[in-house]
Amino acid sequence: MRVLIADDNATSRKLLKHLIKTVPNVQIVGEAINGEDLISKVMMEKPDIALVDIDMPLLNGMEAVKSCKKIVPSLQVIFITGHEEYALEAFGVNAIDYIVKPIDRDRLYAALERAAALSMKLAAQPQPAIKKDLMVKQHNQFSFIPLDEIIFIERAERKAVIHTIEQKIELNEALTNLEEILDSRFVVSHRSYIINLQHLTRIEAAGQSYKAFFKNYEETAKVSKNKLADLQKIKSL
């Protein structure tokens, strides 16, 4: 089982590593020092189990876990914290256990055993197709935008603007960073635009460049001349 430890206290992380290093079939795949780091590590490592503290900087463990569950629905969570008041909320996110510090070794091992068993059971079941989302951060809150709903993304000054049918979302993010996250349906059409080929209907000449038009959407995206042939080839496949 792949285990991720999330706690802002280095001593607590060290203790947890010491306690579980002898547990058979357990591999520690990473450590997170705050809530945002936890989300990032879950996205990268896709652990089976997360051991999570509640009181962490930037984003508390409870809120971070809610986002993590959207990224990896099968993630099993064991809260290990010095706070008792979040216990009810913990079971609302289907936590395996809620262990209040100081850590009871036997209880931790029992929780890991239950988490491992449930993780293996879920892995053996046919899994539904995963609906891919783009996770974005706005005003210290994380939200998820289904990739299917993104029509195109443009660079506006130093921000990225995500166009969907329902709204425009501004991010302090470089297009190159978003390009690395998006899947194969998204193509760079211009140095300031990334378009979703699923929504593309046609491309028309517009002066020295071209415009991309989209289904049920009035706004257009730019297409540079050197990208035109590639787009036409991809669209015809």
Q: Summarize pLDDT for 60-100 with one digit per residue, the tens.
A: 999 899 988 888 888 999 999 988 887 888 878 889 999 99
Share of the chain above pLDDT 90, in %: 50
pLDDT at position 222: 94
Rounded (to 5) percent helix, strand, coil in the chain: 35, 35, 30
Task: Give me the torsion for CA of 69, 36, 54, 130, rounded to 10°.
Answer: 0
The Cα 59–Cα 51 span in angstroms is 16
112/138: higher pLDDT? 112
Higher confidence at residue 218 or residue 177? 218
**Spatial separation of the C-alpha atoms in residues 234 and 237, rounded to whole Å:** 5
On the question of pLDDT at 44 being above 70, the answer is: yes
- At residue 236 the predicted structure's pLDDT band, cuts being 50, 70 and 90, is low
Q: For residue 138, what pLDDT is reported?
A: 67
CA 7 from centroid of its chain's CA atoms: 19
Residue 61: exposure state from Cβ atoms within 10 A (0-12, 13-18, ≥19) = buried
- pLDDT, average across residues 184-211: 91
Q: What is the mean pLDDT of the chain?
A: 87
- Tens of pLDDT, residue by residue over 144-184, are 788 899 999 999 888 899 999 889 999 888 888 888 888 88
Domain boundaries, the chain: 2-124, 133-236
pLDDT the model gives residue 165: 87
2-124 architecture in CATH? 3-Layer(aba) Sandwich (3.40)
Selecting from 3.30.465.10, 3.20.20.70, 2.40.50.1020, 2.40.37.10, what CATH number does the domain 133-236 have?
A: 2.40.50.1020
pLDDT at 237 over 50: no
CA dihedral for 217, 218, 221, 227, sign (positive or negative): positive
**Cα Rg of the chain (Å, integer):** 22
Residues 1-32 have pLDDT tens digits of 899 999 999 999 999 999 998 888 899 999 99
Read off the amino acid at residue 192.
Answer: S
**Res. 213 pLDDT band, cuts 50 70 90:** very high
Q: How confident is the model at residue 139 (pLDDT cuts 50, 70, 90)?
A: low
At 171 the pLDDT is 87
